[in-house]
Chains A and B, each alone.
Chain A
Amino acid sequence: MMIIMKPNATPEQVDHVIEQVKAAGLNAHLSQGVEATIIGAIGETHNIPTDIFEVLDGVDMVKRITQPFKLASRQFHPENSVFPLDGFTVGGEEIAIIAGPCSVESRSQIIETAQAVKEAGASALRGGVFKPRTSPYAFQGLGEEGLDYLAEARQQTGLPIVAEIMSQTQLDLMVRHIDVLQVGARNMQNFNLLRAIGETQTPVLLKRGLSATIEELLMSAEYILAGGNKQVMLCERGIRTFETTTRNTTDINAIPVLKNLTHLPVILDPSHATGHADYVPAVARAAIAAGADGLIVEVHPDPAHAVSDGKQSLRPEKFAEMVRQVGQIAQIMGRRLASVERSTSKV
């Protein structure tokens, strides 16, 4: 990192900073400019907070040169990480399409949806049973009962299950029932939860927080990776901006930026990122064209009567059409839909 001294910093203050750099196990590189003195702190800095230098007398500011994340970074792991899930892989040539309702509402709803999304080309089933709803009065999810229905849907379709975990207390139960743990946007910086998930070996779908920078997203992934759980997929799901036409603003830049910074698979959630079913297929195509490794899409057999997120849920027929369009983009990107592989390799 680079420690920039104030223009009027005294030689004693500069010396003190150099001592502190050395005390942190780093080498100091002094450069005395015309206007300001800069001290380079060289070494393994990702685990050293900038604050320890910022508070010293005479220091104007501290800038990190290397990334504050390590295990997530492409510098550390130049090759793409490819994770095998049940029947397909994420992060390689295959494009994963995870689809299903926002919430598991009933046994028949989730089983019907699972069948429909499978037929349309989904490679995994999503469905929330613990729901982080903005209002405490809104439907909070079916809980354990919902997990049983998800397990049944998996038995009937063979689709692996993605469901959101909201709290550490749900971890034991979820790990037994679920193939991929989703960490929701609202929990992206729930660090206790991240650490606990890091202790498991269940693959994770980590969603970007509503106002989290890309660097913050990668730092959160680092919590999970540091615990020993290597299978983290990152998910762009739209960020909060001043625009009001859509529920969120899809940060499509995040796809190539993340692919550049990290080896972890990157997927996009066009349902939350737009908040409107009409815009989901366009943004899904854009994501794959930008280099995303997969999609997670909300599908409901009857969006008008969905308990949650009806407005942004696709009908199964619209979803099938979206999958067809995404397949065409995948092909020209030199990739293929995971579901295609699945139907030819299985049965």
Chain B
Amino acid sequence: MIIMHLGASKEQIQNVIAEIEKQKLSTHLIEGVEQTIIGAVGDGHYVAKEIFEALPGVESVQRISQPYKLASRQFHEQDSIFQLDGFSIGSTEIPIIAGPCSVESRAQILETAQAVKEAGANALRGGVFKPRTSPYAFQGLGEEGLEYLVEAREKTGLPIVAEVMAVAQIEMMEKCVDIFQLGARNMQNFNLLRAIGETRTPVLFKRGMAATIEEMLMASEYILSGGNTRVMLCERGIRTFETATRNTTDINAIPVLKKLTHLPVIIDPSHSTGDSAYVSAVAKAGVAAGADGIIVEVHPDPAHAISDGKQSLTPEAFARLVKQVKAVAEAVDRHLVPQHVQA
């Protein structure tokens, strides 16, 4: 919808109409008492609105249809369900991904993997390339960490979720990891998104710290448009003025995303609160609001964790969380992943 300035000339209006036709859209002219509005009708999701904003006489341009397509529920009405190793996501099943912020050592990741498996986790998280705010902070074990993750998978059967930070890491990560995590700080790293879109590895896609829901969906569109259709969206808290918590969990994002997109939506209560005391409450809230899964930080010894100790649960606290989340899942007619015999 193109809104013309008060007193825009006939030539300016004609010029806008010509541009609309050039973009292969049709024109619907509305001449109001005060202002003229020109509707640009058609499949406009790939047309940049800047094209019209720059024309003389144009006051503002408002998109009526969504600027994303493959991610939208209009395009794909049914919930997308991805079959992963040992569980599905997007169905009535609610998978739980758990593990430490960082892979710190072989012993630490193996111990944690066993503990979270016993407590009911369906996948193991663990960072080996860490996007730390400070360049002096621990940056992850890199390739060595990947080997430990692979060993943890062999021992527990849990698929592995790990963050990919750069295009250069994709080839190596693809071989070792079951699910790529795209971190909040990289949500608009468009080259990385395109490169991930070329792979066929499922993606856990985190919302940027100051990204709107629409920006998140646009960024996921980068991956989808490359042909990688298995993208899970993750609310992990946004930056607000509140200082009592590390981030503010935008719980609205859960039902909003479930309405706008067919992609699975999960919640990360560890980052979204930043405090292990609040993780369980927000995990339950996430599932009650309709989330399809949760990702939680668990560490065998949070006080001595290299990163994110404050927001990490002990294995015992995590086991309690799983029990509570199970009850909430059942109250919203869903269930945790059945614990069947694993190889």
Contact = CB atoms under 8 A, between A and B. Distances in A.
B282 A332 contact: no
Nearest to B274: A253
- Secondary structure dominating the interface of B: helix
A282 B272 CA distance: 18
B74 interface: no
Interface residues of A, number: 41
Interface residues of B, number: 41
B210 interface: yes
Given A253-B282, A257-B244, A287-B285, A332 B212 contact: no
A289 B213 CA distance: 23
A259 B285 CA distance: 15
A274 B289 CA distance: 12
Given A214-B242, A239-B240, A285-B332, A250 B252 contact: yes
Contacts, number: 132
Contact of B328 (A250, A255, A278, A329): A329
Interface string B242-254: 1111001111111
A80 to B, nearest CB: 15
Contacts of A278: 255, 259
B248 to A, nearest CB: 5
A255 B284 CA distance: 12
Determine which residue in A249, A252, A254, A256 has the highest number of CB atoms from chain B within 10 A of its CB, and name it: A252
A244 B215 CA distance: 11
B214 interface: yes
A290 B284 CA distance: 6
Interface string B262-280: 0000000000110001100
A273 B282 contact: no
B242 A251 contact: yes
Nearest to B254: A282
A325 interface: yes
A136 to B, nearest CB: 22
B330 interface: yes
A273 B331 contact: no
B242 A239 contact: yes
A255 B281 contact: yes
B331 A253 contact: no
Interface string B322-343: 0000011011100000000000
Contacts of A106: none
A189 B224 CA distance: 47
Contacts of B210: 242
- Secondary structure dominating the interface of A: helix
B251 A286 contact: yes
A215 B252 contact: no
B100 interface: no
A291 interface: yes
B212 A253 contact: no
Interface in A203-252: 211, 213-215, 238-239, 241-246, 249-252
A156 interface: no
Contacts of A282: 254-255, 258, 288-290
Given A243-B250, A245-B214, A282-B255, A214 B289 contact: no
A332 B213 contact: no
A283 B256 CA distance: 10
Given A241-B240, A249-B240, A332-B331, 12 more contacts: A242-B238, A243-B213, A243-B253, A246-B256, A250-B252, A254-B244, A288-B288, A289-B284, A289-B328, A329-B288, A329-B332, A331-B331
